[in-house]
Amino acid sequence: MCGDLNGHHRAWENNIKRNNATGNTIYEILEQHNKIALATPPNLPTYYNTSTGKNSTIDLCLISPSLMVNTTIKVMADLGSDHMPISVRLANGPNKIVRGKRSKWKIDETKWESWKSRVLLAPPATPGNVTSEYKTFWEGIIDASSETFKKTSNKVSEKYNIPSWTENCSKAVALRRRAKRRSEKKNRRHIGNRIEYKRLAKESLKLLLETERVFWRDFTGKITANSTVSEIWQMAKKMKGKTKTRNTPLITNGQNHHTPREKANKFTKHFRATMTSNDDIEYPIQYTESITNAKVGGLFPQCDQIFTMQEMQNGIQKLEQNKAYGTDEISNAFLKHLPPTKTQELLGLFNRSWKEGKLPPPWKTGLIIPISKPGKPPELPESYRPIALLQCTSKLMESMVGNRLNHIAETKKLLTESQHGFRFGRSAIDPIIDLEHEIRIGLATKQVTIAVFLT
């Protein structure tokens, strides 16, 4: 138990003239009960009197005697109050869970030319098999990127952070703390230093409040009809210093799972059970025969042709630069800035994979990220949906294949007119318009319109 008990006693403050009533009461409790011990070190400066410039020990920590040996208590940097923040650490506490996050590339737009020159220095992929070609290409891209760009830290910051905080706020707080340290020194503890500290404390507080007010005014001024309530509440919580750095355990069968490995195992078990099936799917014979006949008879020979550079450039042009990348750490930004020789090299890799029907092993691996569902309890595995981050190179080739198949399906009229989803120039609004059109025709001709909705 820690707090401002406002108790003065020579047992923990040997430089005072006399004990007060609260201090005597606390001392009697400590003497009479052997299950309570005082963990606060003697003469720990927990309170600073701005009038006298002296420190006192009135913020106390009471703990179990069994924890005394492994307990460390110290005073931290002041936060603008006359009471100092106190850190209490138990050496035999629970194992600390190291929280981490995925490192990301910090792209500097001014360094692309340097990156391209380093990429060109990498040895070209020797034609052989798809796996070795992709490995050579990947090593060249990653080595050039590591030498050119930095990466974000993989550690989760637990710092107290307020969005309205500015450099002027940091300077004001630094001046206030410096003045306080100066006024606490015995050889400089005179009225001038204490007055200076009080002045800087008031100025820093005024600056912090004014900065918060201006920031909040600017934020609320940008709120529009498209702004969500969650965004506003998130900013309000950030203004109070509240962050989402908590470690929520997973609960399965009444057991709590805290460590990242335990959570990963439970997510894996849950997603595997929900995403796989032991039932063998039997497709109608006409479907399998049509696929076999198309493959043997060559009904669509343009499907088997190698990809052209134009198809490659069209696919790269549609890439979103800030999309998340897979485990190989090759981002869309790297693909969009590839030199022509490396683009040709990647095209050769795609064509070899297309002709041989083989994929590089990294393309078969996805990084699964559990995303919490809104309004669901965060401690249950079923409250999350999996998102798979695949390699950007494999998604580029996938888009090239998809564009080719879409072109063939549209030009050969292989899709029915009633299909609107996943087609260029059409959307889910089209069938609604068609339905409204049929209803209006039925009303005009005094006929009955029947619609069947399958869910």
Would you mind telling me the total number of residues written for the chain in this entry? 455
CA neighbor of 132 nearest in space, from 362, 391, 316: 362
pLDDT at 331 exceeding the cut of 90 = yes
Query: Are 230 and 366 in a shared domain?
Result: no
Domain harbouring 63, CATH code: 3.60.10.10
49-58, 333-342, 415-424, range with greatest mean pLDDT: 333-342
Same domain, 314 and 383: yes
What does the block give as tokens for 119? 């990429």
Q: Is the dihedral of CA 12, 15, 20, 24 positive or negative?
A: positive
**Statement to judge: residues 75 and 199 lie in one domain:** no
Q: What is the pLDDT of residue 291?
A: 63
Total domains in the fold of the chain: 4
113 — pLDDT class (breaks 50, 70, 90): very high
> Looking at residue 111, what is its pLDDT?
95
| 289 and 432, same domain (yes or no) | no
Q: Does one domain contain both 340 and 381?
A: yes
What residues pair up with 252 in beta bridges, in sequence order? 255
Q: What band does 66 get if pLDDT is binned at 50, 70 and 90?
A: confident
100 is a domain residue: no
71 in the same domain as 17: yes
Answer with the one of 90, 118, 138 that is the final residue of a domain: 90
Predicted confidence band of residue 380 (pLDDT cuts 50, 70, 90): very high
Per-residue pLDDT at 137 exceeds 90: yes
Range of the domain at 341: 105-155+271-411
Q: Within this chain, do residues 280 and 380 fall inside the same structural domain, yes or no?
A: yes
User: At 377, phi and psi to the nearest 5?
Assistant: -65, 125
Backbone angle region of 80, left / alpha / beta, with phi > 0 → left and psi within -120 to 50 → alpha: left
416 in any annotated domain:
no
- Identify whether 250 is part of a domain: no
Model confidence at 245: pLDDT above 60: no
Read off the pLDDT of each residue in 6-20 and give the average, rounded to a whole number: 86
- Do 285 and 385 belong to one domain? yes
47: DSSP letter: E
114 or 225: which leads in pLDDT:
114
pLDDT value, residue 43: 87
Specify if 24 maps to a domain.
yes
Between 54 and 399, the higher pLDDT residue: 399
- Spatial contact of 385 and 371, defined as CB atoms under 8 Å apart: yes
Three-state secondary structure readout of 440-452: HHHHHCCCCCCCC
Task: Clarify whether residues 372 and 306 are in a common domain.
Answer: yes
pLDDT of residue 278: 62
Greater pLDDT, 248 or 290: 248
> To the nearest 10°, the Cα dihedral for 177, 179, 185, 186?
-140
pTM of the model: 0.62
Q: For residue 316, what are its two tokens? A: 């790269």
Same-domain check for residues 285 and 404: yes
Q: Residue written as tokens 């696919």?
A: 315
Q: What is the mean pLDDT of the chain?
A: 86
Whether residues 137 and 172 share a domain: the answer is no
Tokens at residue 301, please?
Answer: 């020979």
More confident residue, 443 or 190: 443
Q: What is the mean pLDDT of residues 390-418?
A: 89
380 and 312 housed in the same domain: yes
Name the burial class of residue 296, with classes exposed (0-12), middle (13-18) and buried (19+) by CB atoms within 10 angstroms of its CB: exposed
pLDDT, position 195:
85
Task: Measure the CA angle with vertex 26, ends 47 and 82; round to 5°.
Answer: 10
Least confident segment among 61-75, 193-207, 296-310: 296-310
Cβ contacts of 387 within 8 Å, gap of 6 or more: 368, 369, 370, 371
